[in-house]
Structure 1
Amino acid sequence: MAADPILVLQMHRMGDLILTFPLLVRLRQLWPQNPLWVVAEPAFFEQLMPLAPDAVFFPSSHCEALAMRRYAAAINLSSSPVAAQTMARLESPVKLGPVANGNSLHIQGFWQLYRTALTQNNHANAFHWADLHLLDLAPSPSLACVGHSRPTPAGTRRVGLVLGASEAAKRPDAGFWARLALRLAAADLTPIFLGGKGEMELGQEVAQRTGLTQANLCGKLTLREVAALMGTLDLCVTPDTGPMHLADFLGVPVLNLSMGPVHARETGPSASDQWVLRAAMSCVGCWQCTRGRLYCKQAFLPAPVAKIIMDIHTGLATATAPTVTDAKGLALYRTGRDALGLHTLRRVSTQPEASCRPLLEDVWQAAFLYLYDSTQEALLRQRLTLLHTTHPRLAQSLAEHIARLCAICSNHLKQRSPLPDDFWRRQPGMIRLFTGHMHMFLQNTVFSDQGWHMAVQRLAALAPLFANPA
């Protein structure tokens, strides 16, 4: 008798589908005898199938039929109502992600709920989305057993420039790309302009400004051909977009120009030894810009970015650690993996990190790891101790806000009253990642007594550690 399939629902953009590939690899490891089925958009999976892990792909029009059978596991990574309704109707002992529950949604899985709660509230998030897809599959939050590729240059002196992104705010303009390409060409590098049909006009403008008409391949290649061409690159310079994730998955060295409403710790390159360049501003990594203009985008100037590209290329060409320094107003990072196998972003600079934000992100990462697996207490204590040592006033304020939150929740529990809809937003920014998660958790349990008790129990576990981690 054939084994029940594993079903994954991922009905978003190309980049989201590629970020699902590590999950497909892991599912194949955990259920080697079960067929792996994926629901995705045909415009993306038809081109990506030759590159994807072994799976059978279906369009969303098949959801009605797919909902009628049993699965060994079903994982919904989509916000689509059709996906949630499919999850509600199918049979499976393992369901993760949004599941329709009458007129509402029930999020199943600790980390799937965490990921959902990041909407409009991801400022202090330190988890990469590709990692969050995997963490609910085991009781221990360790991804050390999951293999991650390392980038390798082709040795051709070709540098791909991915011109477009889903929003104009997330990509440089034509003038930037043109000046950058001319500087690279002057350094005996060969720029290649990459993009889909949506970037044809942009590609033509950059080609006209530079005179590099042969470099413009925007709209001229299929996705499979783009993937093949990426294998000939020494480096791919790209905003946070689908082709960036494709290059990263294929093992192409990447320099991610991270600008606009994107967070490099959650959707930047996931492989180790990639590069991320973003503005040296405390507001980077927002969900949506609330400022009058995109200061993070204005920090990117062609000359210093070209210098960074050339320094990285020299290191890749000589197989040595390149000497790369930050440019004014920009911060350069290198991706990696920690002892748990989780994605990391380490600043490459001779100057010490002045902002407390990376430490705060690491503290909240350890706090959620501890709530999921109590054996991670030592990690949380270690990071809290570092925060107390380097930023004592912040650590004290953080502990006070956690204690105050305990009192607020205890009062609501006694009164058996739900939290107001804007409760999580009204909390101080330094604890909002936690209050957003807690609020959604309580909504997920319909503010039941059991949900309240668990929320207060989690707060009670964190409060003494935040107050005194020693």
Structure 2
Amino acid sequence: MSADPLLVLQLQRMGDLILTFPLLLALKKRWPGHPLWVAAEPQFFQELMPLAPEVVFFPPSHCPALARGTYTVVINLSGRSSAATCLADATAAFKLGPAASPGGLHVHGYWQLYRTALTQNNHHNAFHWSDLYRLDLAPTVRPGQAGYMLPVGAKSGRVALVLGASEAAKRPDALFWARLAHRLAAAGFMPVFLGGPAESALGREVARLARLPQANLCGRLPLGEVAAVLRGVDLCISPDTGPMHLADWLGVPVLNLSMGPVHARETGPTAPGQWVLRAAMSCVGCWQCRRSKLYCKLAFTPAAVARAALAILEDPRGNRPLSRSGPLPGLSLCRTGRDALGLYRLEALEDQAARTSPSCRVFLEDFWQAVFLFLYDSSLRPLARQRLTALQNAFPALAQRLDAGLAGLCARCAAAFRHQTMPADFWRGEVPLLRLFAGHTHMFLQNADFSPQGWQTTLERLTALRALFSSGAE
């Protein structure tokens, strides 16, 4: 008798599907011999099949039939109602992700609930989505690298410029790309413009402005041939988009231009040794911009991107990229990596002036990451204490405000428990320091239908968190 299949529902865009590949490898490793099925959009999986882990793909139209099956595992990574219904109706010993229920949605899994709670509330999140997809598979936190190849350039003298993105706010305009291409060409590198049919007009305009008609391949190649082109370049310069994740998966060196409402710690290139350039602003990585202008996008200039790219091309190992590139005003150059737990890290390569006045945001992101790790795996309490101590030493006044804010949150949760009510905008009323935790707490209680057990767990978590502040260094 054959083993029950493993089913993953990923009905989002191409980049989301590629970010699911590490999860697919983790599933194959944990349940060897079980067929692995994936529901995804045919326009993406049909051309990705030769490059993806070995699985059987189904289109979204098969979700009703898939829902009648029996599985070892079903994981829903999609926000679509058809996927939530499929997860709810399928028979499986282990379910993860949002499932349809009579009262709305119920999210299975600690980390899947955490990911869901990031909607409109991802400031201070430090977890990459590719990690969050698979952290629920084990009670301890060690996701590992999961198949990503270390980036190595082809030494061809060619540089790929991926022109498009899902939103105009997330990519440079035609004139920017043309000026960047001109600088790269003047330095002796051959630009290649890549994009799908949606970027055909943009590619023609960039080629016209740059006077490089032979460089434009936008809309002319199927995805398999795009992959072949990417494998033959020294560097891929790209906004946060599907082809960038494809280049990352293939081991192509990437310089990600992280602009607009994207968070590089969530969806940046994941292989260790990749590069991310983003605005040096406190609001960078928001879910949706609420300012009058996209200042994070305006911080990018063709000259600064060219300097960073040429420094990387000159020194692929990245020993001294900033000294080679010169100053990058208003921008922060980062390198991807993995920490001791195997989790994604994004390290800013700052100059001496920045090191003497570090940003509090990194300390807060690291602290909250350790808190959620500790609440999932109690053996990681020393890590939470260590991150808290680092925050207290670097920003003592901020740490005191955080402690006071947690005391207030405890009191407000206790009052809500006594009155058995919690307003719909409860988490939005918290200060930004606490909003990530307050939003997760609020959604956890909603997910538990405000049951006595849900309240008990919430109060236990708040007590454990307050105890971190009152305990000495460990």
Q: Same fold (TM over 0.5)?
A: yes
Correspondence for 1:375: 379
Q: CA 1:469/1:227 → structure 2, altered by over 3 Å: closer, same or farther?
A: farther
Deviations 1:66-123 (A, max 9, x none): 1111000000000000000011111000000001111400000000000000000001
Q: Which residue of 2 aligns with 1:63?
A: 63
Of residues 393-402 and 352-361 in structure 1, the stretch that sits farther from structure 2 once superposed is: 352-361
CA-based RMSD: 1.1
**Distance in 2 between residues matched to 1:269 and 1:53, nearest whole Å:** 18
How far apart are the structure 1 equivalents of 2:415 and 2:330? 46
Task: Say which SS state the counterpart of residue 209 (structure 1) adopts.
Answer: helix
SS at match of 1:156: coil
SS across alignment from 1:248:
helix
Letter in 1 for 2:301: L
1-structure distance, mates of 2:103, 2:383: 40
| 1:430 partner letter | L
* Partner deviation per Cα, 1:365-420 (whole Å, 9 max, x = no partner): 000000000000110011100100010000000011111111111122222x2310
What secondary structure, in the 3-state scheme, does the structure 2 residue paired with 1:332 have? strand
Counterparts of residues 139-158 of structure 1 (less than 5 Å): 139-144=139-144, 146-158=146-158
CA distance in 1, matches of 2:318, 2:469: 41
Contact 1:256–1:275 (Cα < 8 Å) also in 2 = yes
The worse-fitting range, judged by mean Cα deviation, of 252-261 and 458-467 is: 458-467
2:256 and 2:470 map into 1 onto residues whose CA distance is 38
1:358-373 equivalence runs, <5 A: 358-373=362-377
Q: 1:246, CA displacement in angstroms?
A: 0.5
Matches within 5 A, 1:11-410: 11-144=11-144, 146-316=146-316, 321-325=319-323, 326-351=327-352, 352=355, 354-410=358-414
Asked whether the equivalents of residues 396 and 467 of structure 1 are also in contact (C-alpha less than 8 Å), the reply is no
Deviations, residues 297-341 of structure 1 (Å, cap 9, x unaligned): 11101112101100000112xx56243255001000000000000
Q: Which residue identity lines up with residue 399 of structure 1 in the other structure?
A: D
SS in 2 for 1:148: coil
8 A Cα contact 1:128 1:265, kept in partner: yes
3-state DSSP of counterpart to 1:306: helix
- Whether the 8 Å CA contact 1:399–1:467 is kept in 2: the answer is no
CA contact (8 A) 2:148 2:251 kept: no
**Aligned match of 2:416:** 412
* SS in structure 1 at match of 2:262: coil
| TM-score (normalised: structure 2) | 0.97
Q: Give ranges in structure 2 of 5+ residues lacking alignment.
A: none
Q: Take 1:198 and 1:324, find their aligned partners in 2: how far apart are those partners?
A: 35
Report the CA distance between 1:157 and its aligned residue. Answer: 1.1
What amino acid maps onto 1:418 in structure 2? T
Whether contact under 8 Å (1:279, 1:330) holds in the other structure is yes
Give the C-alpha shift of residue 131 in structure 1: 0.3
Is the contact made by 1:12 and 1:40 (CA closer than 8 Å) also made in structure 2?
Answer: yes
How far the C-alpha of 1:272 sits from its partner, in A, is 0.4
Match of 1:434 among 434, 437, 442: 437
The CA deviation at 1:468 is 4.5
**Partner in structure 1 of residue 453 of structure 2:** 450
In 1, the alpha carbon distance for the partners of 2:134 and 2:64 equals 26
Within the candidate set 447, 459, 462, 2:465 is matched to 462
The question of whether the paired residues in 2 share the 8 Å contact of 1:161 and 1:236 is answered with yes
Letter in 2 for 1:284: V
Structure 1 residues 315 and 200: alpha-carbon distance in aligned structure 2, compared to 1, 3 A threshold: same
Q: Following TM superposition, by how much is the alpha carbon of 1:467 offset from its aligned partner in structure 2, in angstroms?
A: 4.3
**Which amino acid in the other structure matches residue 27 of structure 2?**
L
Q: Secondary structure at the match of 1:324?
A: helix
Give the Cα separation in 2 of the matches to 1:110 and 1:259. Answer: 30
Aligned in 2, Cα 1:469/1:399: closer, same or farther, shift over 3 Å? farther
Q: What's the % identity of the aligned pairs?
A: 60
Cα distance in 2 for partners of 1:145, 1:124 equals 23
CA distance 1:238–1:282, shift in 2 (3 Å): same
State the Cα distance separating 1:349 from its structure 2 match.
Answer: 1.9
Secondary structure, counterpart of 2:134 in structure 1: helix
Task: Work out the number of aligned pairs and report it.
Answer: 467
For structure 1, the residue ranges without an aligned partner over 5 or more in a row are none
1:370 maps to amino acid: F
**Contact 1:143–1:340 (Cα < 8 Å) also in 2:** yes
Secondary structure at the aligned position of 2:271 is classed as coil
Q: Using the TM superposition, give the Cα deviation of residue 144 of structure 1 relative to its aligned residue in structure 2, in angstroms.
A: 3.5
Q: Which amino acid aligns with 2:347?
A: R
Assess, with a 3 A threshold, how the Cα gap between structure 1 residues 320 and 83 changes in structure 2: closer, same or farther: closer
Query: Which one-letter code corresponds to 2:205 in the other structure?
Result: E
Q: Letter of the aligned partner of 2:422 in structure 1?
A: L
- 1:216-237 alpha-carbon deviations (Å, 9 max, x no partner): 0000011111111110011000
| AA matched with 1:330 | L
TM-score normalised to structure 1 length: 0.98
CA distance in 1, matches of 2:160, 2:106: 42
